[in-house]
């Protein structure tokens, strides 16, 4: 399975999961929406062209937006994390070893601590920007703080569960290309 | 000139990022003001088809509840049948002269159109419904949507076969309402917290409000037919600084289990809206 097909399947899977399962879950609390769809961007391969990464993030966000009737909201947050991702990866992984031998970010390719830091930081940035844009239309400061922290916690938990359920073997780049 | 090209080439990714962000934010602000997005009707058609597939499955889970609601509505309509009423005195006879009735020019103002709900949210701050009825079936922007139990929202975007409805549970929704008891009018909106409660503002303190009072759509509304149920008063709070009550309203419609709704066309909506915008212009 090539990278392209794998990522197209992931795109559709995460989109449908977000729209028809996670957005429909009876709310734990009226403000908490469990978000998982942006994991698509976090799981993109290391050697992805940065422009393609940006456009893929934009497409993912916009597709979700057309389902939730908020054109631009999720797309803005997704392009932000797609833009920041390469910088963060450069900081977190040792240049010479992993990037050259593994295909995509995972616990195995980056190690426990850097990978969790990578996930938590980008999840936080995504939610922060998303709720900030929402806040510009309505809402107040406490609503903002509460919502950002709660949905970040929920998302990180969901990602942890996903990582355990769908354990990805650290594929070597040489096998795919 | 050369330096500009070098600058663009060096920062190409950053510039793309900025362009995409600006695009997103323009779309977002334009949509929340006017509900007109780029490719809105094309996207509506696609998401509508996918939503339709999904609602085909999920409708089975609420069949019982839908059935109960329809049976209740049937009972209510049956009670309104003419042959349920008897003239009080048999010595007198009611004669309705059909000729004069016609020539007084009664006209039909509201038309009801059945629509299936194929998409619905209650969890976000801006909740929308998606209906499987569109411009080909005569749906237009601004039509009101009601359920068997009470009112639901207003149509905001229309594609060929699908339409999007801004539900009452939307931060920008506003509906003119009145108390059933003494016709005191105010406006209904939603504070974004609990999907089963709305807020009714601008009810004068001279009104005698009690918990459990029924709230109906007012006669001032351009898109909603008058006297449809909105909900019942669940809490009363009076602000000492103003002359108005703020009432907490339990919705009549159960937004969690909507299956079938009616789209209501007001045949004089365009005329009324035009007149309203004209009078606004003279005020400016």
* CATH classification of the domain holding B203: 2.40.10.350
Q: What is the ipTM of this complex?
A: 0.83
List the single residue in A19, A27, A80 with the smallest CB-CB distance to B123: A27
Domains: count for chain A: 1
Interface of A to B at Cβ within 8 Å reads: 19-20, 23-24, 27, 30, 33, 50-51, 54, 58, 61, 66-73, 75-76, 79-80, 83, 133-134, 137-139
* Average pLDDT of the residues in B10-34: 86
pLDDT digits (tens, 9 = 90+) for A150-169: 999 999 999 999 988 887 77
Q: Is residue A146 part of a domain?
A: yes
A66, B43: Cβ pair inside 8 Å? yes
* Class of residue B137 by CB neighbours under 10 A (exposed 0-12, middle 13-18, buried 19+): middle
Q: Identify the closest residue of chain B to A19 by CA–CA distance.
A: B51
- Given a cut of 50, whether residue B151 has pLDDT beyond it is yes
pLDDT at residue A94, rounded to an integer? 67
Q: Identify the closest residue of chain B to A69 by CA–CA distance.
A: B128
Own/partner long-range contacts of A22-28 (Cβ < 8 Å, ≥24 apart): A23/A67, A23/A68, A23/B121, A23/B123, A24/B121, A27/B122, A27/B123, A28/A154
Q: Which domain holds residue A7?
A: 3-23+33-176
Q: Is residue B208 part of a domain?
A: yes
Q: Which domain holds residue B193?
A: 175-253
pLDDT at residue A176, rounded to an integer? 47
- pLDDT confidence bin for B49, thresholds 50/70/90: confident
List the single residue in B13, B38, B50 with the smallest CB-CB distance to A50: B13
A23, B193: Cβ pair inside 8 Å? no
Q: Looking at beta carbons, which residues of chain B come within 8 Å of A134?
A: 125
Q: Is residue A28 part of a domain?
A: no
Segments in chain A below pLDDT 70: 1, 27-28, 30, 94-101, 137-139, 170-177
Domains: count for chain B: 1
3-state secondary structure of B156: strand
Residue B217 β-bridge partners: B177
């Amino acid at each position: 399975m090539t990278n392209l097909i794998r990522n197209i399947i992931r795109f559709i899977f995460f989109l449908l999961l977000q729209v028809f399962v996670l957005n429909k879950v009876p709310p734990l609390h009226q403000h908490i929406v469990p978000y998982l769809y942006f994991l698509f961007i976090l799981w993109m391969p290391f050697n992805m062209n940065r422009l393609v990464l940006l456009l893929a993030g934009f497409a993912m966000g916009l597709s979700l937006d057309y389902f939730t009737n908020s054109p631009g909201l999720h797309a803005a947050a997704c392009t932000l994390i797609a833009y920041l991702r390469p910088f963060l990866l450069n900081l977190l992984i040792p240049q010479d070893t992993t990037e050259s031998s593994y295909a995509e970010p995972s616990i195995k390719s980056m190690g426990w601590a850097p990978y969790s830091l990578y996930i938590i930081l980008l999840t936080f940035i995504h939610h922060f920007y998303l709720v900030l844009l929402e806040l510009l239309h309505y809402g107040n400061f406490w609503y903002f703080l509460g919502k950002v922290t709660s949905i970040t916690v929920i998302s990180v938990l969901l990602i942890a569960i996903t990582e355990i359920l769908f354990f990805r073997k650290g594929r070597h780049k040489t096998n795919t290309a | 000139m050369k330096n500009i090209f070098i600058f663009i080439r060096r920062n190409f990714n950053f510039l793309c990022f900025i362009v995409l962000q600006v695009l997103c934010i323009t779309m977002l602000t334009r949509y929340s003001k006017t509900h007109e997005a780029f490719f809105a009707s094309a996207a509506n058609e696609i998401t509508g088809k996918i939503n339709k597939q999904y609602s085909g499955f999920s409708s089975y889970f609420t069949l019982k509840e839908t059935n109960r609601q329809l049976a209740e509505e049937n009972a209510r309509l049956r009670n309104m049948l003419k042959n349920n009423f008897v003239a009080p005195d048999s010595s007198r006879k009611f004669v309705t002269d059909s000729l004069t009735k016609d020539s007084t020019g009664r006209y039909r103002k509201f038309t009801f159109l059945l629509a299936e709900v194929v998409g619905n949210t209650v969890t976000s701050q801006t909740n929308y419904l998606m209906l499987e009825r569109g411009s080909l079936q005569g749906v237009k922007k601004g039509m009101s949507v009601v359920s068997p139990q009470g009112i639901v929202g207003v149509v905001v975007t229309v594609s060929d076969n699908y339409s999007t409805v801004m539900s009452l549970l939307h931060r920008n929704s506003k509906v003119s309402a009145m108390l059933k008891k003494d016709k005191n009018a105010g406006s209904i909106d939603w504070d974004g917290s609990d999907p089963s409660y709305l807020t009714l503002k601008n009810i004068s303190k001279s009104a005698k409000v009690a918990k459990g009072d029924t709230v109906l759509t007012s006669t001032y509304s351009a898109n909603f037919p008058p006297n449809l149920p909105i909900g019942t008063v669940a809490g009363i709070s009076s602000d000492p600084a103003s002359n108005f009550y703020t009432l907490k309203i339990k919705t009549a419609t159960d937004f969690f289990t909507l299956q079938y709704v009616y789209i209501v066309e007001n045949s004089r909506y365009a005329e009324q809206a035009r007149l309203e915008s004209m009078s606004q212009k003279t005020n400016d």
